[in-house]
Amino acid sequence: MADEKKSKQRHRVMVLASMYPVVALMLILVACVELCDAATVVDVYRLIQYDISGVPFGSRFSSLNHHAASLSFQRGADLSRSVLILPLRELDIGFVQDYISQKQSLGGLLILLPQTFRPGNVGGGSQSSENDGFRNLLAQLEKLLVHGNIPFPVYFAFENEETDAMLADVKKNDALGQQATATTGGYKLVISVSEPRKIASPTITNIQGWLPGSRADGDSNQLPTIAVVASYDTFGAAPALSVGSDSNGSGVVSLLEVARLFSILYSNPKTRGRYNLLFALTSGGPYNYEGTQKWLKSLDQRMRESIDYAICLNSVGSWDNELLIHVSKPPDNAYIKQIFEGFSNVAEDLGFQVALKHKKINISNSRVAWEHEQFSRLRVTAATLSELSTPPELLENTGSLSDTRQLVNEDAIIKGVKLVAESLAKHIYGHQGKDIKIFADDSSLAVNPFYVRSWLDLLSQTPRVAPFLSKNDPLIMALKKELEEYTAEVSVQHESLDGSFTFYDSTKASLNIYQVASVTFDLLLLLVLGSYLIVLFSFLVITTRGLDDLISLFRRPPSRKVKMA
């Protein structure tokens, strides 16, 4: 008997000993708990994060792991561990402003935008007043967010069925004042990305195309040059969504169309003018037109001096009756007068008006509001053609989220192209004052609306924030290829963005939405299961061994004690 017992004990000890490595392995497996696929995954776009001369702006954090809350939360509830979900439709700017200015702590902010603001959503051409209202609201919100220093992650997402269902659920539970008691009700939003890092040396890329004029007797370099310039990059609250259809997609499209028309004219030596044409797509527009400045400085001095005048295109896509020419030289300057007269004559013929606006340059102020100011600082006559009447502030009108395809009117662009082309042609071929239409409709030199539309659609689906565009970005390659078709020489210049602007990466992420149950639910379930197993055990013991056995299970310890005594 004793031997058997001992061997049994040894056996048990050996079994236990062999279990240890298995247990250890199990613990290791348990330690690496992978998160399962969530029921819902949504694409989200982060608010931009940047510094100007070391001063931080935008949202400073990117990863998120909190419960969802909605606007119907109880007053005074602590939201520092919640993500507030704000649909744009119910946004109250004052509330957001208060939250940011009072520096109240918040786990995160998720802004839901209507589907009409999605780039590539060309449908819904009619601008309803509701959409206009949202557009204004979005513009205000962007301004607030871009110029503030926000210590929590801010993300933009587009409404879809799943987010709507989740938001409805969250609102219902918040109204009841509960967080997550039962199985449905608690939502956890998780975005797992690494901390944002500085973009090491952001590059800005300028693309220039040179169309030489016909030399009569001498070198073509002695021919005067006319430059047409547009900046193609944008800046907005969400860099992955800043497509900037009007600012400055419209300018880029107009430049490309003018280049195409003049390349047709210049391809035939008989119609080649006595002016060189220089087309430039510059970058770094929102940052005081840094790209334009660097491009100008890189030009050969003789070339720069040969520029008669330069026309800069900025936001020419959504105007009705009046375009504005902004200049920095005083209006009574002879050159300016000549340019303006040429433009206004053509405009009259085409049925709209052009007005002249003068803004003096303040050399001590580093802010460059219009692109022509960079030319004027290097003593080149220039003017900006734009629908905007007031000079934009820093980082304003630079292609924000509200600047989508629906804002741009193709006809406005076509009218603008006609204006620029006819005026340039009049100047080049010396037809001032005569009533000649070179780029008439139904001619081989007509403005091609399909070309305009296809490039506009492409640009309205391509976010173009310069620090996030690599040197060989497909868009830059496409623009270069397009200019190569219409001009004789194309050169691409890569520069790095100056030190005062610093950008951080991590612009796009995936949001996982989990429906979670609270700990109380799990405890309750454990209780229920425990009692079920105990009942099952007693039932089985009673039916198979009899009630006495069940009672005897509980009476063993006392009986042993009795035996010992």
Partner 1 sequence: MTLFHFFNCAILTFGPHAVYYSATPLSEYDTLGTSVKAAVVYLATALVKLVCLATFLQVSESEVFDPYQEALKAMIGFIDVAGLYYALAQLTHRNISQNHKFQAVGLGWAFADSVLHRLAPLWVGARGLEFTWDYVLQGLEANANLVFTISLAALGSLMWLRKNKPKSLIPIIYTCAVIIATMPSITSYLKRVMGWHFPKIVGFELVTSLVMAFISCQLFILCQRPSL
Q: Total residues contacting partner 1 (rule CB under 8 A)?
A: 29
Find the shortest distance in angstroms from Cβ 38 to partner 1. Answer: 6
Q: Could you say whether residue 529 binds partner 1 (CB under 8 A)?
A: yes
Q: Could you say whether residue 190 binds partner 1 (CB under 8 A)?
A: yes
Binds partner 1 by CB under 8 A, chosen from 1, 5, 28, 34: 34
The region of 34-42, 254-262, 269-277, 390-398 touching partner 1 under the rule CB under 8 A is: 34-42
Q: Could you say whether residue 451 binds partner 1 (CB under 8 A)?
A: no
The region of 118-126, 242-250, 474-482, 541-549 touching partner 1 under the rule CB under 8 A is: 541-549
Return the closest-CA partner of residue 113 out of 160, 154, 153, 62. Answer: 160
The region of 4-12, 277-285, 327-335, 509-517 touching partner 1 under the rule CB under 8 A is: 509-517
The region of 103-111, 137-145, 330-338, 511-519 touching partner 1 under the rule CB under 8 A is: 511-519
Q: Could you say whether residue 25 binds partner 1 (CB under 8 A)?
A: no
Which pair of structure tokens corresponds to residue 353? 């008006």
Q: What whole-number distance in Å separates Cα of residue 50 and Cα of residue 505?
A: 9
Q: What whole-number distance in Å separates Cα of residue 119 and Cα of residue 159?
A: 14
The region of 224-232, 234-242, 481-489, 512-520 touching partner 1 under the rule CB under 8 A is: 512-520
Find the shortest distance in angstroms from Cβ 170 to partner 1. Answer: 15
Return the closest-CA partner of residue 324 out of 248, 233, 373, 390. Answer: 390
Q: Could you say whether residue 516 binds partner 1 (CB under 8 A)?
A: yes
End-to-end CA distance of the chain: 23
Nearer to partner 1, 10 or 545 (CB): 545
Phi, psi of 370 (to 5 degrees): -120, 155
Q: Could you say whether residue 517 binds partner 1 (CB under 8 A)?
A: yes
Find the shortest distance in angstroms from Cβ 42 to partner 1. Answer: 14
61 SS3 class: coil
The region of 96-104, 418-426, 429-437, 517-525 touching partner 1 under the rule CB under 8 A is: 517-525
Q: Could you say whether residue 540 binds partner 1 (CB under 8 A)?
A: yes
Query: Are 399 and 235 contacting, i.e. CB atoms less than 8 angstroms apart?
Result: yes
Q: Could you say whether residue 179 binds partner 1 (CB under 8 A)?
A: no
Nearer to partner 1, 95 or 537 (CB): 537
Find the shortest distance in angstroms from Cβ 534 to partner 1. Answer: 9
Q: Say which amino acid occupies 493.
A: Q
Binds partner 1 by CB under 8 A, chosen from 6, 103, 545, 555: 545
Q: Could you say whether residue 515 binds partner 1 (CB under 8 A)?
A: yes
Q: Say which amino acid occupies 336.
A: I
The region of 232-240, 267-275, 297-305, 508-516 touching partner 1 under the rule CB under 8 A is: 508-516
Edge-to-edge strands, sheet with 149-150: 149-150, 55-59, 49-52, 501-503
Q: Using the CB atoms, write b or e for 59-74: b if 16+ within 10 Å.
A: bbbbebebbbbbbebe
The region of 6-14, 322-330, 373-381, 528-536 touching partner 1 under the rule CB under 8 A is: 528-536
Cis peptide before 248 (omega within 30 of 0): yes
Which pair of structure tokens corresponds to residue 276? 């060189």
Q: How far is CA 174 from the centre of its chain?
A: 31
Find the shortest distance in angstroms from Cβ 486 to partner 1. Answer: 52
Q: Could you say whether residue 536 binds partner 1 (CB under 8 A)?
A: yes
Q: Could you say whether residue 55 binds partner 1 (CB under 8 A)?
A: no
Which residues lie below 8 Å from residue 442, measured CB to CB, with a gap of 6+? none
Q: Could you say whether residue 165 binds partner 1 (CB under 8 A)?
A: no
Binds partner 1 by CB under 8 A, chosen from 15, 200, 216, 519: 519
Give me Rg for the CA atoms of the chain.
34
Q: What whole-number distance in Å separates Cα of residue 420 and Cα of residue 313?
A: 10
Which residues lie below 8 Å from residue 15, measured CB to CB, with a gap of 6+? none
CA distances from 289 to 120, 188, 370, 374, 386 (A): 27, 43, 8, 7, 16
Q: Could you say whether residue 537 binds partner 1 (CB under 8 A)?
A: yes
How are beta strands 64-69 and 82-87 bridged, if at all? parallel
Q: Could you say whether residue 181 binds partner 1 (CB under 8 A)?
A: no
Q: 189: exposed, middle or buried (C-beta count within 10 Å: 0-12, 13-18, 19+)?
A: buried
Q: Could you say whether residue 38 binds partner 1 (CB under 8 A)?
A: yes
The region of 3-11, 246-254, 327-335, 529-537 touching partner 1 under the rule CB under 8 A is: 529-537
Task: Report the DSSP beta bridge partners of residue 204.
Answer: 495
Binds partner 1 by CB under 8 A, chosen from 27, 33, 334, 564: 33
Helix (H) or strand (E) holding 512: strand 508-516
Q: Could you say whether residue 183 binds partner 1 (CB under 8 A)?
A: yes
How are beta strands 322-327 and 353-358 bridged, if at all? parallel
Phi, psi of 162 (to 5 degrees): -70, -40
Nearer to partner 1, 175 or 525 (CB): 525
Find the shortest distance in angstroms from Cβ 69 to partner 1. Answer: 17
- Where along the sequence are the contacts to partner 1 (CB under 8 A)? 30, 33-39, 183, 188, 190, 514-517, 519, 522, 525-526, 529, 532-533, 536-538, 540-541, 544-545
